[in-house]
Structure 1
Amino acid sequence: MFCLFLYKNVQVVIWEYIHLELPTNERTCARQENRASTFWEVEFQCCGNDFFKQNFRLKRRAFQKLCSFLDHIKKKKTNFQNSICLGNGTIEECVDGFKSIGFPQCLGALDGCHIEIRPRTEEAVDYINYKGWYSTVLLALVDARYRFLYINVGSPGRCNDSKIFEKSSLKRELDKCSLLNSMSTKLGNFDIPVVILGDSAFRFFKYLMKPFPFSLDKTPAQKTFNYQLSKSRSR
């Protein structure tokens, strides 16, 4: 009840402030103009007071006052906002995590997720995914504790995970990261570097491990490998 009372008070204060701030003839629905894709990054950042009021039906000073009323609900600083820097200690922790669930020398699991959107008409064709609906793709790398090590969001739904990964900063960083090689270990007769795990949609390369392709003639060892890789990615 106390929280609800405070929330209603905030609502009343905001309503009264807008009511007093804007003359009656200005409290009308604003016409929505087509905005350029750079509106928030460029035009909005350097706009004057008239531009601000024309687009948001509120003076900048009034908007700042409203923000001060809501200061108590703004995003708090937490440990979850800190980035995870890849050093020897972090890589060892990630590798140990995947080793405990059955896959050695693994830094993280990589996969994509389609997020439904409503694109602009002129761009809609680029966002139709293989399932037939509009989406943007979130590509993410997570460790054994489900913590995000990397995210890439915004690619059109028609792009497959492999194509997004090939053009990503993650791929470039993996290519030039000497730690992945220096922390390699001997498995059988081979030196195995630290790798990430992907599904069969990804293109195989030195630091990305994927399952053996579908075949009716897979050996028991290949079947076991595919099972362990799949289990480690989707547990």
Structure 2
Amino acid sequence: MERREKIRLAAILLAKNNYLFKKKLNILLLKVFNNMKIINALASIDLTTMFEAGIVTLPDITERQLWKLDRSGAFWERDVPLMDENRFKENFRLNRNAFRIICEKVRGIEKADTHMRPCIPLHKRVAISLFALGSAAEYRTVASLFGVGRSTVGEIVLDFCQAVCENLSDCINSYPPNQREIRKVVDGFARIGFPQCFEAVDGCHIVVQPPKDDATD
């Protein structure tokens, strides 16, 4: 395309955009003008007299709805109470008695209800944490299962881990590890080719044929 033709098309496009802009601006100004007329009219009305005469009444004040998304996950409320001891332990890696003891030890993660919404109960917080830590499920999957937000799962797991480190350190082998144990671990990693390393996080990807019932995990 020649230079002159390109300039001509650009000028046409600019003129068209300018026309559309002015048209939208006129519509906006017209709306502002009409709103100002309504405001001026309302300002001249004696609302106090109209309230006293019962011509104008205040709307009924209703209770504020909960500020949260209504989620359908009811695994904890519906399915868990029906589990036998073995099934419960498969999901949470603890029996019910040990689960109750853990809840008492980490009671500091319990939250209080607010005027906007009720909190997630302590036992459910512990269940979310144990399920997330004891399975290969993503936070997104755990969130759908328990009917909470994905970010909420992350916050609960962090609070739970912090509470365990603070209140159950006597139940964790070598926590915190002493200098001799740290040196032993670091030297062990160095011997296999990973110098200055203290810990490895699981991240293996191994092709398997999972059972159909547990394919998601």
**Is this a same-fold pair by TM over 0.5?**
no
Largest Rg, 1 or 2? 2
- 1 or 2, which has the higher helix percentage? 2
- 1 or 2, which has the higher strand percentage? 1
- TM bracket (short chain): under 0.3
